[in-house]
Amino acid sequence: MKYDLLKSVSLLALFATFTAIMFACDKSNDPSAPEKNTPTSSSSEMPLYSSVTVTEVSPIRFLPPTVTYNADKSKFNFNGSATLDGFDTTANVDSDNDPFFTNIKLDLIHVDEMGQSKVAMVQLQYTPPTFPVAQINLGEMGTVLYDPDKIECGTFKLIVVLYATNDAAKPDKFISTDSVEFVREPEFCIDEPEPVSSSSEPIAVVEMNQFQGQMTTSNFKGFSLKTDQEVDAAQAEFQVSLSQDGQLTIIGLNGYRVAKYSNADQTPYDDDWYSQDLPPAPAHMSDFRFHEKNLAESTSFDVDAFWVVVGPNYNKDTGDDFYAVSLLKKDVIDGNGIAPLTIIYYKK
Tens digit of pLDDT at every position of the chain (348 positions): 333 433 443 444 444 444 444 444 444 444 333 333 333 333 333 345 446 789 988 999 999 899 999 888 889 999 999 999 888 878 777 777 889 999 999 989 998 878 888 888 888 889 999 999 999 999 999 999 988 778 888 999 999 999 999 888 899 999 999 999 999 988 888 654 444 433 333 345 799 999 999 999 999 999 999 999 999 999 999 999 998 878 899 999 999 999 999 887 666 667 889 899 999 999 999 889 888 888 999 999 999 899 999 999 999 889 999 999 999 999 999 989 999 999 999 999
- CA-wise closest residue to 291 among 167, 190, 151, 140: 190
> Which pLDDT does position 249 carry in this prediction?
94
Report the Cα 332 to chain-centroid distance in Å.
23
Q: Single out the residue of 239, 241, 240, 237 nearest to residue 255, CA to CA.
A: 237
Cα–Cα distance, 124 to 177 (Å, whole number): 17
- The Cα-based distances of 322 to 44, 191, 311, 326, 348 in angstroms read 43, 25, 7, 14, 8
d(CA 250, CA 237): 11
- Please state whether the predicted TM-score (pTM) of the whole model is above 0.85: no
Question: Shortest CA distance to 172 belongs to which of 111, 113, 131?
Answer: 131
Q: What's the confidence (pLDDT) of residue 137?
A: 95
Among 326, 139, 333, smallest CA distance to 242 is for: 333
Q: Write phi, then psi, for 319 (nearest 5 degrees).
A: 80, 10
Cα separation, 269 vs 198, in Å, equals 16
For CA atoms 115, 121, 125, 126, give the dihedral sign.
positive
Query: How many CB atoms lie under 10 A from the CB of residue 280?
Result: 9
Whether 282 and 262 have beta carbons less than 8 Å apart is answered as: no
pLDDT of residue 33: 36
263 phi/psi in degrees, rounded to 5: -55, -45
Of all residues in the chain, what percent are helix, strand and coil, respectively (each to 5)? 15, 35, 50
Contact 133, 165 (CB under 8 A): no
φ, ψ (nearest 5 deg) of residue 88: -75, 95
Note the pLDDT of residue 197: 39
